[in-house]
């Protein structure tokens, strides 16, 4: 979003506001206003097109893309996620558990039994045999090592020590003395070469400095630096002009949008609302009261009459079927009904006789 509020003015170390025009020339101040006007004219169509695209994009997102995305998400869940979850939960997991149980029963348990009762004893026996063989081989190796060490000591080491002490050491001392002499001669030659190279380097340094460095420094100080400062001022003014133009274009675009919204409201929305409230709603109520409600009442009355006719026909058919059954097979025998309820006087007499019998006893 573009910041439409002005930045607070810069302040000096004493706390007083400082204007940027104080340190700028009159040419910059005179050129600033035309540049900003031209930038506003160029940026205003771009800003209005950008705001129109933003509004269209939001409308498209809220009305089309979001519902379509939700529908696609639900369809994806229905077509892919739920079948895969059901397949995993009700097919893959039970099959895996069954295969794991079969593998445990058919492979792991026999393998553990074979390892515990077959391979472990055989391995221990082999380890014991290998330990005995290793001890024998160790004894033989120690004897051979002692013999070979004695032979190497007296056939190789002692002659090599004598050769080093009485032949190679004197020859090495002689070669070292010769090398020290050659090194002294080489240092003298290198010192002379160093002086020559230092002189040549100084001549080349001052030549390059006078012919290249000082002209390049003058060009940088008196040509490139002023041009760069001017270009920096121009670029800063252009950026400021574009920023101001963008903010002003935003205000204008908002005003145009509000004007178009008001125009649409007063030319389309308000007339449509008035037509709906003042014309369509009374017409709808009249149609409902004069046509739809009588039709609904007539339909309900016809439905009630039809249900009553069906009920009467059903009762007539049931009665005719009962009469036919009675005519063909006779009246069915009914067991005698026993009235379990006794009148209050009989109940009182029964209670009195039971009390008299208990008293006699």
> Alpha-carbon distance 24 to 240, whole Å?
15
- What per-residue string of b and e applies to 108-146 under the rule 16 or more CB within 10 Å gives b? eeeeeeeeeeeeeeeeeeeeeeeeeeeeeeeeeeeeeee
pLDDT value of position 219: 92
> Alpha-carbon distance 246 to 50, whole Å?
11
pLDDT value of position 47: 85
Residue 171 has φ and ψ, to the nearest 5°, of -60, -40
Using a cut of 0.85, tell me whether the model's pTM lies above it. Answer: no
**Would you place residue 2 in the very low, low, confident or very high pLDDT band (cuts 50, 70, 90)?**
very low
CB 20 within 8 A of CB 10: yes
What pLDDT, in 10s, does the model give residues 274-310? 999 999 999 999 999 998 899 999 899 999 999 998 9
The answer, yes or no, to whether residue 131 has pLDDT greater than 50, is yes
11 has which bridge partners? 17
What's the token pair of residue 263?
A: 């125009």
Q: What is the mean pLDDT of residues 149-178?
A: 86
pLDDT value of position 338: 58
Question: What rounded mean pLDDT belongs to the chain?
Answer: 82
> Alpha-carbon distance 63 to 68, whole Å?
9
pLDDT value of position 321: 80
pLDDT value of position 250: 86
Residue 149 sits at the vertex; the CA angle it makes with 143 and 153, to the nearest 5 degrees, is 155
What pLDDT, in 10s, does the model give residues 18-73? 444 445 566 566 667 777 787 778 888 888 889 889 989 999 999 999 999 999 99
């Amino acid at each position: 979003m573009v910041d439409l509020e002005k930045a607070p003015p810069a302040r000096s170390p004493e706390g007083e506001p400082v204007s940027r025009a104080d340190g700028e020339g009159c040419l910059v101040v005179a050129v600033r206003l035309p540049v900003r006007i031209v930038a506003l004219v160029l940026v205003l169509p771009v800003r209005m097109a950008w705001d129109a695209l933003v509004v269209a994009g939001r409308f498209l997102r809220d009305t089309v893309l979001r519902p379509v995305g939700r529908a696609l998400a639900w369809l994806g869940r229905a077509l892919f996620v739920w079948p895969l979850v059901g397949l995993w939960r009700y097919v893959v997991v039970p099959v895996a558990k069954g295969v794991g149980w079969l593998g445990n029963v058919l492979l792991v348990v026999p393998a553990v039994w074979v390892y515990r009762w077959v391979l472990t004893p055989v391995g221990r026996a082999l380890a014991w045999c290998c330990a005995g063989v290793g001890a024998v081989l160790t004894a033989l190796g120690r004897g051979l090592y002692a013999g070979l060490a004695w032979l190497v000591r007296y056939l190789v080491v002692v002659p090599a020590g004598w050769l080093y002490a009485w032949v190679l050491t004197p020859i090495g001392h002689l070669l070292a003395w010769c090398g020290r002499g050659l090194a002294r001669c080489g240092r003298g030659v290198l010192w002379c070469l160093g002086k020559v190279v230092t002189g040549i380097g100084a001549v080349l340094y001052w030549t390059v400095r006078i012919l290249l460095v000082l002209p390049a420094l003058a060009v940088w100080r008196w040509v490139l630096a002023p041009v760069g400062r001017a270009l920096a001022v121009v670029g800063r003014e252009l950026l400021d002009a574009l920023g101001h133009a963008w903010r002003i274009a935003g205000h204008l675009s908002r005003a145009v949008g509000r004007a178009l919204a008001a125009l649409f409201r007063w030319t389309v929305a308000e007339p449509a609302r008035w037509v709906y409230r003042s014309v369509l709603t009374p017409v709808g109520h009249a149609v409902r009261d004069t046509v739809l409600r009588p039709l609904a009442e007539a339909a309900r009355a016809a439905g009630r009459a039809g249900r009553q006719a069906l009920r009467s026909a059903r009762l007539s058919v049931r009665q005719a079927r009962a009469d036919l059954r009675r005519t063909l097979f006779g009246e069915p025998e009914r067991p005698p009904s026993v009235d379990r309820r006794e009148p209050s006087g009989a109940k009182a007499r029964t209670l009195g006789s039971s009390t008299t019998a208990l008293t006699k006893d």
